[in-house]
Amino acid sequence: MSSPAVVEAVGGATVEIALVNNMPENAAEATVGQFETLLRRAAGQGITYQLTCYALPQSDVARGSASSTHEEIEALYARGADALIVTGAEPRAERLADEPFWADFSRLVLWARTHTLGSLWSCLAAHGAVELLDGVSRRRQDQKISGVFACSATPDDWATQGAPEEILVPHSRYNSLSREDLAANGYVISSWSPSVGVDSFWRREPSLFLFTQGHPEYTANTLASEFRRDALRFLKGTSAAFPKLPDNYFSGAAQEEIALLRSSPEVLDPFSFLERFDRILEQNPPTANWFNDAERLYGNWLRLIVAERNEEPIGTMARKAAFSRCKT
């Protein structure tokens, strides 16, 4: 499959971007902030965009306080969008088809194929999309993949245009997609790592679907917050094991202090643990050394959407007409 060209000359009308947020309620607003920051940096001075947030009916966002900042998914279907970003979600079921949002998510995937110029599917959303489209199932790993990993960038690929041979990407997941399964179904691998497998990949649907198993949108503290959450679950007895430290993330000093804290009797007291853990992070704050690579990926994606829209516009009325036919 030939790689689309990313053009430097952009311009044109405002790009309408829809963000479908499937994160738990306590992380919903932070997730929006992560994507907003990355899109703003990636767009720079050359691209004007409008970001609108939506929620699937069965998501935590739709049922919680964050619903006031997210529109119902039906509004997206009626309004349309040039581009779509779909976040991951914290897994609740062993099988994706058993997730409470699966039916609504499936409808979104099929709608996006012919009603957007490009869609970006993050982590669990990527797993769900390829399972729906091709029956490619994720595979549970022996332990959680968590940390910042060096991934090899595929040469002459639009998604990694301008990238060095290796890029840095945060990953945080329990499941993986097989590179062989993806390649056999026509997906193009843009970046991957021998230690964590496929990072990003894409395929025409005919909309340009970009998938990321990693989380380039993460801020410097996101992996620390997730580790803190998982440790608290263990201390409260709702998780069977204390979490492994994220790879290649905490400083050497922070790792040593967290290891000492883990062996301390105080670890049995959630409040004492959190107080000391937060103090360690204040003294040894993580850094987002992957953000330039994340900005490049999203910049390539945005420029390609603008270029494709300028070449072959898809108007809102056309989207509405096509969707009405798909529903019958």
Which of 16, 99, 217, 308 is flagged as catalytic? Answer: 217
**In angstroms, how far is CA 215 from the centroid of its own chain?**
5
Say which DSSP state 264 is in: S
Nearest-angstrom CA–CA distance, 291 and 161? 16
53 noted as active-site residue: no
Which of 53, 70, 115, 123 is flagged as catalytic? Answer: 123
Alpha helix positions (H), 80-197? 102-115, 124-134, 179-184
123 noted as active-site residue: yes
Nearest-angstrom CA–CA distance, 159 and 304? 9
Query: Rounded to whole angstroms, what are the CA distances from 281 to 20, 121, 215, 227, 246?
Result: 31, 31, 21, 12, 14
Element holding 302 (H helix, E strand): helix 291-311
Which of 99, 171, 215, 295 is flagged as catalytic? Answer: 215
Whether residue 144 is annotated as binding a ligand: the answer is yes
The CB-side HSE value for 228 (13 A sphere, CA atoms) comes to: 17
Whether residue 229 is annotated as binding a ligand: the answer is yes
Query: Rounded to whole angstroms, what are the CA distances from 297 to 128, 205, 211, 275?
Result: 22, 20, 11, 36
Element holding 274 (H helix, E strand): helix 270-283
From the list 216, 198, 220, 219, the residue with the least C-alpha distance to 153 is 198
List CB contacts of 139: < 8 A, sequence separation 6 or more: 175, 176, 177, 178
217 noted as active-site residue: yes
Where is the binding site for substrate, in residues? 144, 172, 229
Cite the active site residues.
123, 215, 217
Where is the binding site, in residues? 144, 172, 229
